[in-house]
Structure 1
Amino acid sequence: MRPNQSVFTNIFPEPSTEHLLAWNVPPSELVHIPEHWLTYPEPEASIHYLLGLLYIVFFFVACIGNGLVIWVFSSAKSLQTPSNILVINLAICDFIMMLKTPIFIYNSYSRGYALGHVGCQIFAFMGAVSGIGAGMTNACIAYDRYTTIAKPFDGKMTKTKAAFMVVCVWGYALPWAVLPLLEIWGRFVPEGFLTSCTFDYLMNSFDNHMFVAVIFVCSFVVPMSMIIYFYSQIVSHVVQHEKTLKEQAKKMNVESLRSNQSQANQSVEIRIAKAAITVCFLFVASWTPYAVLALIGAFGDQSLLTPGVTMIPACTCKFVACLDPYVYAISHPRYRMELQKRLPWLAIKEPLGEAQSTTTETTTGPPPTDAT
């Protein structure tokens, strides 16, 4: 009897197969699996099948949503603004995030590490580059929103500047995916039910602890700090601006200094800003559990990391990659207008006046940011 087996079986009955995880993995592949996972029982087949079904839904919902965003924003002249280059890049990151899900689905319906080391490396590489890329793209979008609202003349985005920021995003993300892929620093390994893969946060060595700490700072703390700073500045600027307008209106004995058109344009801007904050909040909500999980694995009590627990953040990242494009659809009048023209069977009814807001045309793009 394994240690603590009796306690475990009182809470969760032992699977009928009485197999441990990796029971169906060839001996040559076992070297790639952290020993931590090999002590847990194999989950019931229905758990694998349900997760596989969930990922099938994620795959189709995200690919359709992000595919529409990439298509419409790339081809519609009214949406080809510098700011929207960042939006397209975020959709590409989310799209890449979901392109790896067939590997997970195949592994789930094969009940384990079916595609082996090669499949694991592909899965983890795509997840690392798209996840970190999405985080930094969200930070760039937060910067763009900040400069648009707080410095509308000095900080105007140009296509050259936006393209340069996209190049910087990929230049920043790629090393963190290549280093563990080539096992120069860190490595990619299976986790949880051995159907998904990520960087190794369980290896107990100084080099690995340093890798986890550094990638935590660079891929989570840095974009998160930028997002929080820029959006806090936006809120501060808007509050101060509204206060100034109200004081000025009071002095002039009028109800408001805004014209009807100005108020309509501002309404569109506020909706777009809210969408940007929403997408960035989704990014924070999806990647924070993964960051905490990695820190526990490297520096905390590893017994807390059961296979089932580690599958939760893996699912939240994919869920956010599904939601992002639909946040654009809800919030961006121009995007909905283009969908209405190109896909009339969607029955989208966008008021023409709001969709033709000059402000939206020239200075904004739907904000995103992966998830996961």
Structure 2
Amino acid sequence: MAQFHNVSGFLPFKGNDYNFGYPAGVSLMDLVPDNVRPMIHEHWSKFPPVNPMWHYLLAGIYMILGFLSFFGNGIVMYLFLTKKSLRSPANMFVVNLSFSDFMMMASQFPMFVMNCLGGGYWTLGPFACQLHAFTGSVFGLCSLLTLVAIGYDRYCVIVKAFDGGHMTSGKAFFLILLCWAYAIVVSIWPFFGWNAYIPEGILTSCSFDYITQDWNKKSFGLFLFIFCYCIPVSIIIFVYVQIVNAIRAHEKALRAQAKKMNVENLRSNADANKQSAEVRIAKVAVANVFLWLLTWTPYAYVVMKGLYGNQDDLTPLVSALPGLIAKTASVYNPIMFAISHPKFRLALQEAWPWFCVHEPKDDDSKSSKTESEATK
């Protein structure tokens, strides 16, 4: 157990309300051994220790998220590798998302859990801290960018279907490589002196330095905010708004034509199935935008708050929770983009009949290419 030190010179917290069994006046940094202290920014010495139950609670949550992520993303990757019917350009993005999410949790939650249960601070040394932060950044950014690519693919299929905008395997592979290259290039800069990787929040995980108030750190934070949040979210909102508008315009045109012909609707049985797919895609589009904002906005807020706002509001828990929220994406992404879709559900039903998936087969061979791709 580390000895308690008063390293801050000032202790804004008073009384026994937040001691949780620690001596009065102890700061978060006082719990950290001397050999770990150089890694940690003095900002965290302003705050008292968090309730030790947070470490156990977060460790438990991360273990649950890790299991669910491995299970869901593992299923998606297995089905893609074993079922030829799923090997389409659109599904290349889905399986890349699953691989990235899988690796993100594999590289993050074991270290986090070890630190939570091993003392409540970073116990694995500077190199492991940099590795933890770098891999989390690469896989997290790749997942984020793959979501943008999935939105762009849906845009090509639905909005640009008659303008030669269909995605090919070669184009999909190029965009996937671009996602990985972008994520690696952004994440590698701290190794060359632009920003740095340090422990954050409750000190059981590592990330970019969004605390230090110099232009080196602040310029990198601004770069991240613009190129890894503002631009991706703008693209996502644009493509899904266009998708929803295209579907609404199509439905409006069909209703107007049916009214002129004095019939109830103009759809055949195959088109009726297509209508259902279109409505589903519109709902998924809205959900995608909402979940993307819910996942990444808290982390963007913390980074900008730390670099350009009032750092007194940036408590250990406020800094730690956005990372947890971002990692929940690795659990719901396979459900949103794969397991909930008919083609994957059919493959899942064939692979594991005991899985209680009941997806009716589409026997209509006249379904258009646009329909089949849009439902993947």
**TM-score over 0.5 (shorter chain):** yes
Taking a change above 3 Å as real, the CA distance of residues 301 and 330 of structure 1, as seen in their structure-2 partners, is: same
Question: Match for residue 18 of structure 2?
Answer: 13
Shift of 1:263: 1.1
Contact 2:104-2:135 at 8 Å conserved across structures: yes
Kept in 1: contact 2:342–2:359 (CA 8 A): yes
SS in 2 for 1:38: helix
Aligned to 2:167: 157
Offset of residue 167 of structure 1: 0.7
Residue aligning to 1:223: 232
Q: Structure 1's 285 and 354: CA in aligned 2 closer, same or farther, altered over 3 A?
A: farther
How far apart are residue 147 of structure 1 and its match? 1.1
Is 1:130 aligned to residue 139 of structure 2? yes
Question: 1: distance between equivalents of 2:286 and 2:72?
Answer: 19
Kindly report which structure 2 residues correspond to 1:52-71, keeping only aligned pairs within 5 A, or say none. 52-71=59-78
Is 243-252 or 59-68 further displaced after alignment? 243-252
8 Å contact from structure 2 (residues 11, 27) kept in 1: no
Given candidates 349, 352, 374, the residue that maps to 1:343 is 352
TM-score for the superposition, normalised by structure 1: 0.91
Once the two structures are TM-superposed, the CA of residue 331 in structure 1 deviates from its matched residue by 2.6
Matches of residues 82-97 of structure 1 in structure 2 within 5 Å? Answer: 82-97=89-104
User: What is the aligned partner in structure 2 of residue 106 from structure 1?
Assistant: 114
CA contact 1:98–1:321 (8 Å) conserved in 2: yes
* Aligned partner letter, 2:176: V
Whether the 8 Å contact between 1:337 and 1:355 is mirrored in structure 2 is: no
2:35 is paired with a residue whose SS is: helix
The answer for the alignment partner of 1:278 in structure 2 is: 287
CA-based RMSD of the aligned residues comes to 2.1
Question: Which residue in 2 is equivalent to 1:44?
Answer: 51
Do the aligned residues in 2 keep the contact of 1:264 with 1:354 (CA within 8 Å)?
Answer: no
How has the CA–CA distance of structure 1 residues 246 and 122 changed in structure 2, closer, same or farther, with 3 Å as cutoff? same
State the distance in 2 between where 1:345 and 1:119 align.
41
Contact 2:13-2:48 within 8 A present in 1 as well: no
Residue type at the aligned position of 1:175: V
Structure 2 residue aligned with 1:212? 221
Distance in 1 between residues matched to 2:280 and 2:268, nearest whole Å: 18
Residue pair 1:269, 1:360 contacting (<8 A) in 2 also: no
The count of residues paired between Structure 1 and Structure 2 equals 362
CA contact (8 A) 2:72 2:331 kept: yes
1:88-122 per-position Cα deviation (integer Å, ceiling 9, x unaligned): 11111211221121000000001211112222112
1:112, 1:195 within 8 Å by CA — same for their partners in 2?
A: yes
Specify the code of the residue in structure 1 equivalent to 2:117.
Y
Which deviations, in whole Å up to 9, do the C-alpha atoms of 1:223-278 show, x marking residues without a partner? 10100011111111112222211111111111111112111123134324533543
Distance 1:122 1:280 in 2: 30
DSSP-derived class of the 1:190 partner: strand
Cα deviation 1:158-192 (Å, max 9, x = unaligned): 00000000011111111111111x14211111111
The offset of 1:361, in angstroms, is: 7.5
- In the TM superposition, residue 76 of structure 1 has moved relative to its aligned partner by 1.1
Give 1:195's aligned residue.
204
Give the counterpart letter for 1:75 in structure 2: T
Q: Distance in 1 between matches of 2:282 and 2:364?
A: 16
| Contact 2:83–2:347 under 8 Å retained in 1 | yes
Partner of 2:4: none
2:12 alignment counterpart: 4
Aligned-partner Cα distance in 2 for 1:104–1:75? 33
Following superposition, the deviation at residue 69 of structure 1 comes to: 0.9
Contact 2:274/2:371 (<8 A) preserved:
no
Q: CA deviation at 1:36?
A: 0.6
SS in 1 for 2:206: strand
Q: CA separation in 2, counterparts of 1:171 and 1:113?
A: 29
Whole-Å Cα distance in 1 between the matches of residues 82 and 371 of structure 2?
A: 15
SS at the partner of 2:362?
Answer: helix
Q: In structure 2, how many angstroms separate the alpha carbons of the residues matched to 1:350 and 1:184?
A: 53
CA pair 220-355 structure 1, distance change in 2 beyond 3 A: farther
Structure 1 position 30 matched with structure 2 position 37: yes
The CA distance in 1 between the partners of 2:284 and 2:104, in whole Å, is 21
Match of 2:261 in 1: 252
Secondary structure of the residue aligned to 1:114 is coil
C-alpha contact (below 8 Å) 1:74/1:88 kept by paired residues: no
TM superposition shift of 1:77: 1.0
Distance (whole Å) between structure 2 residues aligned to residue 355 and residue 199 of structure 1: 52
Name stretches of at least 5 consecutive residues in structure 1 with no aligned partner: 367-372
- Taking structure 2 as the reference length, the TM-score comes to 0.90
8 Å contact kept, 1:201–1:294: yes
